[in-house]
Amino acid sequence: MSLPTFVSREIESGGRPLYSRKEKSLGLLCSNFLTLYNRDDVDAIGLDDAASKLGVERRRIYDVVNILESIGIVTRRGKNRYTWKGYGEIPRTLEELREEGLRENFSNLGPGNSSRFVDDNESGESINVKSDDNSFASMKADNKREKSLLLLTQNFIKLFLCSDVDIITLESAAIALLGDSNNSTAMRTKIRRLYDIANVFSSMNLIEKIHHPESRKPAFRWLGWEGKHYSESATALDLNETKKRVFGYDITNYSLKRNKVGSSSDWISDQKENMRMHSKHDISESNHDVHKLKQHSKQNSKGFVFGPFTPANIKGDSENNNVRRLMDWENLASSYKPQYRNQALSDLFGHYVEAWKSWYAEVAGKEQIQQGS
DNA sequence: CGATCCCGCCACTAA
DNA sequence: TTAGTGGCGGGATCG
């Protein structure tokens, strides 16, 4: 009961809707999470700490962490605690997943597949010979594990790694990963999860959202982690910035729920809207894949990852000794005229800049408050 | 209107 | 039992 849920379409004095789903996307949260912890002096990650630092509910941290764990970036150390492993684990983990997937015949995507994930596992000793109720319990636990975000994520990846196709529709992925069951509800739920996963992977540029060449349907293309260089240990050149004005607020924006009004925290309300970059005159957004050899994302010294909208500015030559370092994003955003494919991307970029400045201010502001406990 | 996907209730579990 | 986890899907947003 309850939850009136009458669309309280609050409009901030000015015409700007005071709630944007894009600002709270898992992908953005993931980027912030990675940027926050991709440092050499980071080892343990406290979930509470992460939640408060990133300004989100704990529930969301679970989502991000579970997905990141599937790639090996972090590992569960124990209750409320994870260990940062770093991007270096990605290639290794992907390779393992590929082999594992091949071993499990994960290359079947088409209909009538009846893909069966054997669900291997390390602790392959289930001695539950019988014991009625006992086996029931383990069965339930097993069933739950099979539905876990972590496993779903890994299976999703296997789909790409073990198949000749590199463009997959979430629907097809759901069908393949669902094994069978034509249940419409299960399908819808599965796709919801895949969207979540796709979001964070997109933010990491492991995959890219596109429109199927012919089908026109939205799909995702595997990009992989190959050329992506990261700086395992944050170089010194960051955090030395000072000419950047410090914003008082931090990324903590618990308020602004979907409907609820929430305290009018002036999050993005300021006037940095002057960085309206129009979507350039169509850049020959030709019919089929213009995405040929685009160089998605580069990362700055701190490991911050750009979305699929890498400003053509830094893409110059691929991963040279990325000595670029911290260019002034504010200027870039307001003066540089990037060739974004569309308004959405430019908007997203704006949000990234915003988010980046936010946590940057926080981090720079109060040193690295290494979480203890 | 269909594609997205955030939010947070609440069933499980671990301590 | 309490605290930590994390399925799940309603329904708000986006395009």
Task: Indicate yes or no: strand C within 7 A of the C-beta of A372.
Answer: no
How far apart CA A315 and CA A294 sit, in angstroms, is: 9
Residues A227 and A209: their CA atoms lie apart, in Å, by 19
Whether the Cβ atoms of residue A140 and residue A188 lie closer than 8 Å to each other: no
Distance CA A212, CA A191 (A): 17
Exposed, middle or buried, A194 (CB in 10 Å: 0-12/13-18/19+)? buried
Helices (H), A131-183: 132-147, 149-161, 170-177
A1 touches strand C (CB under 7 A): no
Of A268, A17, A269, which Cα lies nearest the Cα of A7? A17
Cα–Cα distance for residue pair A276/A334, rounded to 1 Å: 8
Q: Where are the domains of chain A?
A: 11-87+228-365, 90-122+132-222
For residue A78, give the 3-state DSSP assignment.
Answer: strand
Asked if strand B comes closer than 7 Å to A147 Cβ, the answer is: no
Summary mean pLDDT of chain A: 65
pLDDT at residue A201 in the model: 97
- Quickly state the pLDDT bin for A12 (edges 50, 70, 90): low
* pLDDT tens by residue, A56-71: 999 999 999 999 999 9
Contact indicator for A116, A106 with CB cutoff of 8 Å: no
Q: Is the CB of A158 under 7 A from strand B?
A: no
- pLDDT higher than 80, residue A123: no
**Mean pLDDT score, A311-321:** 34
Q: Which nucleotides of B are covered by protein (CB under 7 A)?
A: 3-10, 12-15
> Which chain A residues 29-68 have CB under 7 A to strand C?
47-48, 58-59, 62, 65-66
Of A113 and A279, the one with more pLDDT: A113
Q: What is the pLDDT of residue A20?
A: 87
What is the C-alpha to C-alpha distance for residues A73 and A60, in angstroms, rounded to an integer?
A: 17
Share of chain A above pLDDT 90, in %: 35
Q: What's the pLDDT at A95? A: 94
Whose structure tokens read 């949000």? A351
CB of A315 nearer than 7 A to strand B: no
Helix, strand, or coil here: A46? strand
A168-205 residue pLDDT tens: 999 999 998 887 667 889 999 999 999 999 999 999 99
Q: What is the pLDDT of residue A106?
A: 74
Nucleotides in chain C near protein beta carbons (<7 Å): 4-15
Confidence of residue A19 (pLDDT cuts 50, 70, 90): confident
Q: What is the mean pLDDT of residues A279-288?
A: 34
